[in-house]
Amino acid sequence: MPPFVGPEVAWFALSPLLVLSGGGLLLLVVGALTGRWPRGLYAAVTATVAGTAAVLAAIQWSRIADDGPSTLVAGALSYDAFAQFLTITILISVILVVLLTDEDLHESDADGPEVYGLYLMAATGGIIMAAANDLIVLFLGLEALSLALYVLAASARQRSDSQESGLKYFVLGGFSSAFFLYGIALIYGGTGSTNIGRIVASLQSSVTTGGDNALVLAGIALLLVGLGFKVAAVPFHVWTPDVYQGAPTPVTAFMASVGKAAAFAAIVRVLVVALPFYREDWRPAIWLLAVLSLVVGSALAVVQTNVKRMLAYSSISHAGFLLVAIEAAGHRAGEADPGSGVVALVIYLLAYSVLVIGTFAVVTVVGRNASGDVTLDAFKGLSTRRPALALALTVFLFAQAGVPFTSGFVAKFGVIQAAVEERSYAIAIIAMVAAVIAAFLYLRIMVSVWLSGESSDVDGEPDQTLRIPIGAGLAIAAAAAFTLVVGVMPGWLISTAEAVTTYAR
Amino acid sequence: MFGAVASGELAFPILSMLILVPVGGAVLVALLSARRPEFVKLAAVLTSVFTGALSIWLTIAFERSAEGFQFVSRHTWIEQWGISWYLGVDGISLFMVLLTGVLFPIVILGIDAHHKNARQEKRYLAWMLLLQAGVMGSFLSLDLFMFFIFFEIVLVPMYFLIGGWGYENRVYAATKFFLFTMLGSAFMLVSIIATAVLARDNGVGQITFDLVVLAEQSNFAASTGRWLFFGFAVAFAVKVPIFPVHTWLPDAHTQAPTAGSVVLAGVMLKLGTYGFIRFGLYLFPEAAWWSRSLFLTLAVIGVIYAAIVATMQSDLKRLVAYSSIAHLGFIVLGTFAITTQSLTGSVLQMVSHGVSTGALFLMVGMIYERRHTRQISELGGIASVAPIFAGFFMVIMLSSIAVPGLNGFVGEFLILIGSFPTARWWTVVAATGVILAALYLLWAYQRVFHGEADEANRSFPEIRAREVAVLAPFIVAIVFTGIYPKPILERIEPAVVTLVQHVESRSGFVEPVPGAVAGTSDQEGN
């Protein structure tokens, strides 16, 4: 037996992960050993760590553009543009969410390093998922992300619905992890490896020799269940409304952005990168999941009265849109010209992450004032009390509805274009109609904000009781600016995203 | 000075200015403090008047007999998707641009929207200016993507105008309006993308949303073109609205504030008929010709059905809304008859209907302001207490009925005479709609203005100087177009002739009587 030789480690290529996990651990350890830090310092340190990692990822992006993609740590991780794009998306989300969290924790007198440490660990897990070139590594990332999210969901210790949310998420998430792991085992059985590069090589030869594929098909089915749960696709969505509603609002924003981005990155790694030879088998399943998510998510969103539940269902509908992009990518997965499905997907993920955090940021501000109550009534007359906040929320909601001149429209346009390119007209039309149904939901919120509660006949002064904390204000302003800039000038984002389809295997 | 510029760029980008000036005005209005409402109003008035002046200048500088698009302005916008900021104007869009430019300052200056406070007024003005920019953009865009985003973005200001400043049921009406129109657009977006993608593989060679390139170079299979056309047609049919997708309109009109109704009837509904002509016929001539009997039938059903429903209305504003549907049916009839005359009539009628129905909604708004009711049964005998008011209403109403000598006649007559050769029986049935229009409008006039004035109506105030000033431009346009339509027709016709030739070259259709029927005074422009 040959002696164990450690793999060559490209430290710089791993630096975002190292900075994040190191920063997270350091924050937890130092935070535990010292007394309470001054207000805002935890958040500032976390944002700095995430910002540093994002800068490193951006530097790596340009290196990859020059040198081409490669694999790291003996083929465990991919070092490609797709991974870097998702890394930056996740880190931008982390920074924005951190800005919201400070005030939220301070209000409930729960200032401390734990939540921030968990954010960083979760982000590490999400980035590992996006970069995984081995199904086991992908599973590790998935668990790192999920475990952190379970705790985060339950982190509002005084509120029982937060506890319930965490427990529910944990139990159901545990199930889905088991499915996912079993799926990996079956794929291993069918191909002889968990490494994506070797899976592809093995399938390539078995396709030519006509090998048995029942194990792989069963594996794909189980993987789809696990991943479907993570992205909250119908029919694996039932946890979403309860967890979104119960979790502290900044954590909900985190789940909707980082959680979704990482899970969709995993879907791309598993289906598009690892299993392109089975695209004719998994594409119909994705088609079905997409249509169900679009229709059920939009339809059920409309009948809710709690804004967080509404946004939970609307996130299901958005997951449907993202699955449309995957379906489009499925037509030409593995070919030299892979189509624009994955490009549309990453643009959608970035745009959606930013604007969903913006939306939840406004919900945080309004909800705190209404003592945790985030029904539609809490938004009544927001336009009189806080016109700027109401305007920002309007931008976010119209962006979610896909109205032009917002990033949401650019994202939807990209997805529909990708679907039409592949002649998937039916799913494109279903997606657009679902978007119209979902628009009704955003209009309902808008009605509360703009069209009710305008009872005062005098010139109303801004309501001083509804204070906008600096952090949240910053996050809202940045998210709104991004949403509009991308909406008007999307060219730079599209040309950046077009690089992501060259994967390292 | 301006030369015949069918292509190339002008030193002064007047078309971009027509869109960007109101946008800038809206931003300025939003930024100014509500504590100084007079500045806010001044900024809004100045920008809208300036836009109106630009549109008048455009009309004067327009080269009347030149073919193709003029004042073309073109910049790459989203290179990766083949999208350009591509604007141009021809005879089909020119007068809609003029109407959009002129109507908004009148509405902003002339209609008192009864704001609760200065901040509300500020919002109202900002939405109005954004609406103007959006409508302008829709009429000027020659890039399918750009057209779509303007077509879609106008929903937002209109939604807030109806929802924020409308009557009792405003939120319901605004939401219905938004969702109906957005549903139509959903199909159109898929169709637009599919058109670009399929055109790339069928003749064009690259992804582009350029209308002219797509129309001239693409060669779809007939069945493909029909599907694509259908996607566009759904959006336009909802916007026009064509029977049976018209149900949002009576609600939106009835609940909208006067200014909203005027803009809706005046220019926004025309986005649908304009879309049929500019995008439906031009991009998919074969499909339009193939499906004409469907649209002709729906148009005629709309004419008759809406007229009958209008007769039965007890609410004056709802009556005008239904009359709007009937009149738009004529425009659709003229569009799908595809003759030079019928199309010229349709384009002219788009403007005429905008003027006369816009003015009707204005006057209904004035009645509501005085009496706080729109119920016909509660009104009566107004002519005896306010004869001048009644006179103004009479002129506008007659123009809507299409009495010779007023603007409505020219357009409707051209449509009917032009449609007869290619769509005989539809034209015959639609012609009865003219009689029905006289029936419901005159009957409504009789009930509202004649008879004995009761207690409440006896104090009906006579028309005020400001109201005369607001109505004067409408009356001038009505009479001018009615008596001397030549300057308008001779600008519309070259574009229509080009379009009909394009349709003939792309489908089995041959215009039966090329040129004109001699002897009608309207044909001097040929």
Here the contacts of A148-151 (C-beta below 8 Å, separation 24 or greater) are A148/A118, A148/A119, A148/A121, A148/A122, A149/A122, A149/A173, A149/A251, A149/A254, A149/A255, A149/A259, A151/A118
Chain B neighbors of A495, CB-CB under 8 A: 79-80
CB contact under 8 A, A459 and B117: yes
Calpha distance B347→B91 (Å, rounded)? 9
CA A189 to chain centre: 31
Is B171 touching A (CB cutoff 8 A)? yes
Is B429 touching A (CB cutoff 8 A)? no
Calpha distance A421→B193 (Å, rounded)? 8
DSSP letters spanning B141-203: B-BHHHHHHHHHHTHHHHHHHHHHH--TTHHHHHHHHHHHHHHHHHHHHHHHHHHHHHHIIII
Min Cα separation A420/chain B (Å)? 6
Is B77 touching A (CB cutoff 8 A)? yes
C-beta of residue B219 within 8 angstroms of C-beta of residue B202: yes
Mean pLDDT, residues A201-207 taken together:
79
- Residue of B2, B263, B1, B280 whose CA lies nearest to B136: B263
CB contact under 8 A, A432 and B187: yes
Q: Name the band, by pLDDT with cuts 50, 70 and 90, for residue B521.
A: very low
Element (H, E) at B223: helix B222-239
Q: What's B3's DSSP letter? A: -
Q: Name the band, by pLDDT with cuts 50, 70 and 90, for residue A372.
A: low
Element (H, E) at B426: helix B424-449
Is A398 touching B (CB cutoff 8 A)? yes
Peptide linkage before B157 cis (omega within 30 of 0): no
- What's the pLDDT at B465? 87
Chain A neighbors of B155, CB-CB under 8 A: 403
Looking at chain B, how many residues does it have?
Answer: 526
Chain B neighbors of A399, CB-CB under 8 A: none
Burial string for A310-335 (b: 16+ CB within 10 Å, else e) reads: bbbbbbbbbbbbbbbbbbbbbbbbbe
Chain B neighbors of A439, CB-CB under 8 A: 178-179, 182
Q: Name the band, by pLDDT with cuts 50, 70 and 90, for residue A262.
A: very high
C-beta of residue A251 within 8 angstroms of C-beta of residue A155: yes
Calpha distance B449→B433 (Å, rounded)? 23
Q: Point out the residue among A409, A458, A495 whose CB comes nearest to the CB of B80.
A: A495
Is A160 touching B (CB cutoff 8 A)? no
Min Cα separation A443/chain B (Å)? 7
- B120, closest residue in chain A (CA to CA): A459
Q: Which amino acid is at B373?
A: T
Numbers of helices and strands, H then E, in chain B:
24, 2
Q: Point out the residue among B149, B187, B194 whose CB comes nearest to the CB of A405.
A: B149
CB contact under 8 A, A429 and B170: no
Chain A neighbors of B116, CB-CB under 8 A: 454, 456-457
Here the contacts of A64-72 (C-beta below 8 Å, separation 24 or greater) are A65/A499, A68/A502, A69/A502, A69/A503, A69/A504, A70/A504, A71/A133, A71/A197, A71/A504, A71/A505, A72/A9, A72/A10, A72/A13, A72/A14, A72/A133
Calpha distance A496→A11 (Å, rounded)? 25
A63-93 pLDDT, tens digit each: 888 888 888 888 889 888 999 999 999 999 9
Chain B neighbors of A450, CB-CB under 8 A: 160, 163-164
Residues 321-350 of A with CB under 8 A from B: none
Q: Where are the domains of chain B?
A: 299-526
CB contact under 8 A, A495 and B182: no
Min Cα separation A487/chain B (Å)? 11
- What's the pLDDT at A224? 93
Residue B4 has pLDDT above 50, yes or no: no
Q: Point out the residue among B80, B81, B153 whose CB comes nearest to the CB of A404.
A: B153
Calpha distance A83→B378 (Å, rounded)? 71
C-beta of residue A173 within 8 angstroms of C-beta of residue A150: yes
| Relative orientation angle of helices A307-331 and A279-302, to the nearest 10 degrees | 160
CB contact under 8 A, B78 and A384: no
Ranking A7-21, A445-459, B245-259, B452-466 by mean pLDDT, the lowest is: A445-459
A289-334 pLDDT, tens digit each: 999 999 999 999 888 888 888 999 999 999 999 999 999 999 988 8
CA distances from residue B441 to A35, B324, B391, B393, B436 in whole angstroms, order as listed: 82, 12, 14, 11, 8
Mean pLDDT, residues B479-498 taken together:
90
Token readout for B495 is: 């574009």
- What's the pLDDT at A221? 93
Calpha distance B323→A431 (Å, rounded)? 35
Is A494 touching B (CB cutoff 8 A)? yes
C-beta of residue A85 within 8 angstroms of C-beta of residue A500: yes
Residues 115-134 of A with CB under 8 A from B: none
Calpha distance A72→A7 (Å, rounded)? 9
Burial string for B419-445 (b: 16+ CB within 10 Å, else e) reads: bbbbbeebbebbbebbebbbebbeebb
Q: Which residues are within 8 A (CB) of A254 and not within 5 positions of it... i.e. 6 or more apart?
A: A93, A94, A97, A119, A122, A149, A152
Calpha distance B338→B514 (Å, rounded)? 11
Give the mutation candidate from B29, B127, B145, B189 for the A interface (greatest A CB count, under 10 A).
B189
- B34, closest residue in chain A (CA to CA): A459
Q: Point out the residue among B80, B149, B190 whose CB comes nearest to the CB of A416.
A: B190
Calpha distance A302→A279 (Å, rounded)? 34
Give the mutation candidate from B20, B149, B182 for the A interface (greatest A CB count, under 10 A).
B182
C-beta of residue B406 within 8 angstroms of C-beta of residue B398: yes
Is B221 touching A (CB cutoff 8 A)? no
SS3 of residue A77 by DSSP: strand
Q: Partners of A195 in the beta sheet?
A: A134
Residue B16 has pLDDT above 80, yes or no: yes
CB contact under 8 A, B152 and A421: no
Q: Which residues are within 8 A (CB) of B300 and not within 5 positions of it... i.e. 6 or more apart?
A: B329, B333, B426, B429, B430, B433
Min Cα separation A425/chain B (Å)? 8
Q: What is the sign of the dihedral through the CA atoms of A72, A75, A81 and A84? A: negative
| Relative orientation angle of helices A470-488 and A341-369, to the nearest 10 degrees | 150
Token readout for A386 is: 């806080």
SS3 of residue A78 by DSSP: strand
Ranking A58-72, A273-287, B4-18, B316-330 by mean pLDDT, the lowest is: B4-18
Calpha distance A28→A22 (Å, rounded)? 10
A160-192 pLDDT, tens digit each: 888 889 999 999 999 999 999 999 999 998 888
Token readout for B436 is: 């029905």
Q: Which residues are within 8 A (CB) of A17 and not within 5 positions of it... i.e. 6 or more apart?
A: A53, A124, A127, A128
The helix, strand and coil proportions of chain A, stated in percent and rounded to the nearest 5, come to 75, 0, 20
Is A436 touching B (CB cutoff 8 A)? yes
B352-382 pLDDT, tens digit each: 999 999 999 999 988 888 888 888 888 888 8
Calpha distance B476→B479 (Å, rounded)? 5
Q: What's A377's DSSP letter? A: G
- What's the pLDDT at A202? 85
Chain B neighbors of A458, CB-CB under 8 A: 117
Is B152 touching A (CB cutoff 8 A)? yes
- What's the pLDDT at B523? 40
- What's the pLDDT at B10? 52
B224-283 pLDDT, tens digit each: 889 999 999 999 999 988 988 888 988 888 888 888 899 999 899 999 999 999 999 999
CB contact under 8 A, A404 and B187: no
Residue A211 has pLDDT above 70, yes or no: no
DSSP letters spanning A362-376: HHHHHHHHTTT--BG
Which is more confidently placed, B506 or B321?
A: B321
CB contact under 8 A, B117 and A433: no
Calpha distance B195→A118 (Å, rounded)? 48
